[in-house]
Each structure stands twice: as structure tokens, then as C-alpha cells.
Amino acid sequence: MEIIENSKVKEKVYVEKVENGLTIMVIPKKNIQKKYVIFGTHFGSLDNEFVMPNNNEKIKIPDGVAHFLEHKMFEQENGTNSLDTLSSLGVDANAYTTNDHTAYLFEATDNFYEALDELMDYVQHPYFTDENVEKEKGIIAQEIRMYDDQPSWQVYMNAMQCMYNNSAIKIDIAGTVESINKINKEVLYNCYNTFYHPSNMVMVLCGDFVPEEIIKEVKNRLINKELQGEIKRIYPEEPNEIKQKEITVNMEVSNPLYVIGFKDIPKCKNIVKKHIAIKILLDIIIGESSKLFKDLYEKGDILNAPDLDYEFSDEYAHILISGQAREPKIIYNKIKEEIENIKNEGINKEDFERIKKKIYGNYITEYNSISNIARNFLADYLKGINEFDYIEEYPQVTLEYTTQILKEVFNEEKMVLSVVKGK
């Protein structure tokens, strides 16, 4: 077992690699009532084509399978539903699917071991029938329709449409009403057998635990599985260029919503350091204390400070600036100009140091909530990152390095604009 400690945030993570390939991570937190467990697999909406390790057969699956599979995992052969079982224990259980992973989780105050039994039992025992697969289609169709009515989701998806030519990131995680109709139990079993192997999974536990003990408890609940070779995933070739500059659609909204994106090149070798630099840059360009934000706000061009994000995996990387504004094109143009100004004049050193302090505070504050801790450790582990790296790398992010990232990433030809506006 490996123990990694971070002295700044005063936390430790215990990492155990089980023989069958599963990684278990424990972050102990004293005096917290809740215990949080999250069990994840490296299988998300992007994994649409792959070679199955058990028979070397290559398959292509309909859009939305990872998410569909997540819904179906709760159903048990004896007719019970694990979500109900966990809920009856007074445990708050849930699951979610992202572009690159699927996760099953619960948080418990009482009945912890009963809940752990159930979680590990249902994730390790799929039960799909023609009937139960058919029934789920109606529910997921309503979930998709719910997103159809959310302008914030639409404006985000259209930004993906602008940036990406081929990558499945431009397709809704849940798929479409048409694509989910093509899903059957064979597809689900093929995906389950491929991706729900311990070597492709990780479990993170956060709460008042004794690490050695809880790791033993988890191991006792693992079923035997033969070792499996590496999963060969096939992704479409994605050019560095954007697909189109702009998409505008109409929905019933009061004020237009916008997402301004910058397409970036994935697979950077020190992604944590780059991520920190990009966060700093976004704040310098259009954060709450920036000159640009002040001007736009005072003129009434912008309603709120925009949300600033950097999203990435091995297959995609992009910056997102999103919010509501009377005339999104103005925001787009002003950001473009401001980036040019900063490139020409150089980053103000005072701003840089101040924003860096802010970002330090943000990283430390993440450790207030055990659900944040567990989810972040899981998501980052599946991207090959140890969450503590953000605090460790932080001092290495210099003004020079940040300037270099500004020049590399914030370029007009990689910039897109997605807008949802009223009819």
C-alpha cells in the first residue's frame, strides 16, 4: 500500500492495487458523520468502438450505451432494485456517466457495511433482460427530452459541435431517442464484460475510516475474475482545427446564453501544470477583477461573471467561457481583443500573483466536502492524475510558463461561439 501525504492541505491518501487490477484509494477524514464510496469504471460516452479482450472481436456500439448501462446496473436477478435497497437503508445512492467514466456511489451515516455489500454486489453482477432493457427506453427518452428543454445544455452541446469534427464528445452522453432504441441486452453484456473488469476500475472511499481495515473489507467483497488484457479503444481521428466558427439556435429564453470555446490539443505531458496556468489566464482575461469584465459589466453588456472551465481527457481538450449576455458577439469580440492586448503587453505581474493566491484558496477549499474529494480523486485518477498534484505543481507555475500557455492555447483560429437566444 502506498501512502501519499500533502502537508499543505493536511490530508493523506492510501492507495492499494489489488492483484486483479482494481485500484482502491482511501482518504480518511476524522469526525465526519458521512462516509462516501464511489466505484468507477473507465467507460464513458466516448468509448463507442473497441476490441473486446476476451475474443479480440471489434465492435461499434450505438450512442448512449455507457449511460444506458448505468441505468440498468441497479436491476437485480431476484427482482429487486439496488437503488431501492440502498434507499431503504437510509443511504443516499446515485450514479452518473461522463465522457470518460461511469461511477456508482453512495453516502451513508448508518448501515455502512450493508450498503457496501449492496454496492459491490450490484456493480459486480449485471442482470439484463429484453424486457428490462425495453422498459428503460421510455425513462431515458424522458431524460433526453428534459435536456432538450435546458438552454444551458443545448448551448454547451452546440459549442462541442463547433469545435469537434469527428470526436464523440459532440454527441449527448445519453445518446438520442433514436440511438437508444438500437440498444439491446447483448450490447450491454458486451460492454459490461469489457469495461467492468477490475483492471479498468477504481474505488475511492472518503470518511472516518481506518485505511487498512476498510481496504480489507473491500477486498473481501470482490468476486474472482480472470485477468484481462488491455482494452483497445478506437477513437475517430480528430483534426486540430475547429469544425465551424459559430452556431446560433432559438429557444424560449429571456437573455441569450453563450459559450465561447477554445479548442486545445489533448495529451499534454504536464496537464496539471497547464490546467493551473489556464485557470489563472482565464481569470486574468475575464475574471471578476479583470478590466474587461469591469467594462462589460458597467456597460450592461454582461449580466454575471462568466463560468470559466478547462475540460480535457486523452481525446479532447477545450476551454469554455459561458454565461448570459445581451449580445454574445460583443463578448466574443472583446475577449479576442483582450487576449491580443495581453499577448502584446505581457501579463501584469501583480494580477498574476493575486490570481495565483485565489487559485490556491480554491484548491484547498475543495477538501471541505468528502463528496468533492472522492469524486475529484476518482475522475483525476482515470485521467492519470493524482489530485494532490494540483497543490504540488502550483508553485511551479511561473509567469513565463503562463505566458507561453497563453500564446499556445488562446488563439483566434481555435475560437468558437455558440449562442441560444430568444425567438
The stretch near other proteins (CB under 8 A) out of 57-65, 88-96, 191-199, 339-347 is 88-96
Contact of 373 with 27, CB cutoff 8 Å:
yes
Tell me how crowded residue 5 is: count the other CB atoms within 10 A of its CB. 10
For the bound state, the minimum distance from the C-beta of residue 54 to other proteins, rounded and expressed in Å, comes to 33
Residue 10 is a binding residue for other proteins (CB under 8 A): yes
**CA–CA distance, 173 with 163 (Å, rounded to integer):** 17
Return the SS3 of 297. Answer: helix
At a CB cut-off of 8 Å and minimum separation 6, what does 290 contact?
283, 284, 338, 351
> Measured from the CB atom, is 73 or 202 closer to other proteins?
73
The three-state secondary structure class of 37 is strand
Site residues for other proteins, 16-45, by CB under 8 A, read 29, 31-34
Rule CB under 8 A: choose which of 150, 166, 333, 396 binds other proteins: 150
User: How far does CA 174 lie from the centroid of its chain?
Assistant: 14
Residue from 11, 16, 70, 315 carrying the catalytic annotation:
70
Q: Binding residue for other proteins (CB under 8 A) from 52, 359, 385, 399?
A: 359
Q: Of 182, 227, 303, 337, which lies in the binding site for other proteins, with binding defined by CB under 8 A?
A: 303
**Position among 3, 57, 58, 88 found at the interface with other proteins (CB under 8 A):** 88
| Pairing assessment for the beta strands 201-207 and 23-28 based on DSSP bridges | parallel
**Residues 407/129, Cβ–Cβ less than 8 Å:** no
Tell the smallest beta-carbon distance from residue 395 to other proteins (Å): 10
9 belongs to the binding site for other proteins (CB under 8 A): yes
Q: Which of 19, 77, 300, 344 binds other proteins (CB under 8 A)?
A: 300
Helix (H) or strand (E) holding 419: strand 415-421
**Is-contact 155 419, C-beta < 8 A?**
yes
Cβ at position 238, least distance to other proteins in Å: 30
Q: Which is nearer to other proteins, 230 or 350 (CB)?
A: 350
Q: Sign of the C-alpha dihedral, residues 159, 162, 167, 168?
A: positive
CA dihedral 393, 394, 399, 403 (to 10 degrees): 60
# of chain residues touching other proteins (CB under 8 A): 70
Question: 51 or 330: whose CB is closer to other proteins?
Answer: 330
* Residue 146 is a binding residue for other proteins (CB under 8 A): yes
Minimal distance in Å, beta carbon 122 to other proteins? Answer: 14
**DSSP string of 46-92, one letter each residue:** T--EEE-TTT--EEE--TTHHHHHHHHTTB-TTS-BHHHHHHHTT-E
Helix (H) or strand (E) segment spanning residue 276? helix 271-286
CA distance 66 to 63: 8
Kindly state whether residue 364 participates in binding other proteins, applying the rule CB under 8 A. yes
Asked whether position 79 contacts other proteins by CB under 8 A, the answer is no
Closer residue to other proteins (CB): 109 or 396: 109
Using the rule CB under 8 A, is 186 a contact of other proteins?
Answer: no
DSSP 243: S
Judged by CB under 8 A, the chain residues 113 through 142 that form the site for other proteins are: 135-140, 142
Asked if 324 interacts with other proteins (CB under 8 A), we say yes
**What is the rounded CA–CA span in Å between residue 110 and residue 420?**
45
- Quick check: is 70 catalytic? yes
State yes or no: residue 253 binds other proteins (CB under 8 A). Answer: yes
From the list 183-191, 253-261, 314-322, 406-414, the region that binds other proteins by CB under 8 A is 253-261
Binding residues for other proteins (CB under 8 A): 8-10, 29, 31-34, 81, 83-84, 87-93, 107-111, 135-140, 142-143, 145-146, 148-151, 251-255, 257, 287-291, 293-294, 297-298, 300, 303, 324, 354-355, 357-362, 364-365, 367-370, 423
* Catalytic residue IDs: 70
